């Protein structure tokens, strides 16, 4: 996934659009699998990319699965993230407004703060059950130093993630954050998908969490209409069900 981990974190924002990223997946699959169809799955942003890769290149995949992220269909009407999340059931995505800006990169500028940030994102809590991240608000910076280590990660695992996102004396968070800044580009690209009915013909599996801090029940309703063969299952856990 472009910008994450040890991948190249290009500064060219257009490369982080979902159509461009789907083309990357197609090119990689053609290199690795040659002429064979692939089974494609992902978690969180990876799951969003799975949905869109299957839409753009349906002949590439024989099956798809998403962990934690429902399919949100293309729309002819553009609404900004602020408009969408200001009222109703999408308030749990308002953290993305913060992620679209530069506040996180500006604040998380040294290794200890990167550690605190990652720990908060994995659910670390303070002695009075304080949290460092709230989906309806974003990162709560003043709580970060108070958090105990997340139960989802060992010290070794957290050290590894810190080493990935703080290198050569600087933060590497800008790459992942660019995924949040392409809403308008994705909207324009996806207008082409609306020229024909939006439908997944391949078998699909969707796993949602019982806690649903980010992906709400409302977001998963009415998905069936876009699939010929969809299996949905609820898993006892949070967004981080793969770790749990």
pLDDT tens by residue, the chain, 244 residues: 999 998 988 999 999 999 999 999 999 999 999 989 999 999 999 999 999 999 999 999 999 999 999 999 999 999 999 998 887 668 888 999 999 999 999 999 999 999 999 999 999 999 999 999 999 999 999 999 999 999 999 999 999 999 999 998 999 999 999 999 999 999 999 999 999 999 999 999 999 888 766 555 566 678 999 999 999 998 888 888 898 8
Classify residue 153 by its DSSP letter: S
Classify residue 227 by its DSSP letter: B
pLDDT at 84: 86
- So where are the chain's domains? 1-76+186-244
Q: Between the CA of residue 77 and those of 187, 190, 224, what are the distances in Å?
A: 9, 11, 22
pLDDT at 89: 67
Would you say domain 1-76+186-244 falls under CATH 3.40.50.1820? yes
241 neighbors 235 (Cβ within 8 angstroms): yes
The residues, ordered by sequence, that sit 6+ positions from 25 with a Cβ below 8 Å of its Cβ are: 40, 49, 53, 57, 60
pLDDT at 216: 53
The residues, ordered by sequence, that sit 6+ positions from 204 with a Cβ below 8 Å of its Cβ are: 54, 63, 64, 65, 66, 227, 229, 230, 231
Which residues lie across from 38 on neighbouring strands?
61
pLDDT at 215: 55
176 neighbors 4 (Cβ within 8 angstroms): yes
């Amino acid at each position: 996934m472009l910008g994450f981990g040890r991948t190249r974190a290009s500064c060219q924002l257009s490369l982080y659009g979902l159509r461009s990223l789907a083309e990357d997946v197609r090119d990689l699959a053609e290199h690795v699998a040659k002429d064979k169809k692939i089974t494609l799955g992902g978690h969180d942003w990876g799951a969003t990319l799975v949905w869109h890769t299957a839409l753009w290149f349906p002949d590439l995949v024989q099956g798809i699965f998403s962990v934690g992220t429902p399919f949100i269909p293309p729309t002819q009407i553009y609404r900004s993230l602020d408009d969408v999340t200001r009222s109703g059931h999408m308030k749990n995505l308002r953290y993305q407004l913060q992620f679209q800006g530069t506040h996180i990169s500006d604040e998380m500028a040294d290794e200890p703060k990167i550690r605190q940030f990652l720990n908060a994102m994995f659910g670390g809590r303070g002695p009075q059950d304080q949290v460092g991240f709230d989906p309806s608000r974003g990162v709560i910076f003043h709580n970060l130093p108070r958090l105990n280590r997340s139960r989802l990660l060992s010290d070794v695992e957290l050290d590894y993630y810190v080493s990935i996102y703080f290198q050569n004396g600087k933060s590497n968070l800008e790459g992942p954050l660019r995924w949040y800044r392409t809403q308008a580009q994705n909207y324009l690209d996806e207008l082409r998908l609306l020229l024909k009915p939006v439908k997944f013909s391949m078998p699909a599996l969707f796993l949602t969490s019982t806690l649903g801090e980010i992906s709400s029940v409302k977001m998963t309703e009415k998905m069936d209409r876009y699939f010929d063969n969809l299996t949905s299952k609820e898993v006892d856990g949070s967004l981080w069900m793969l770790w749990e």
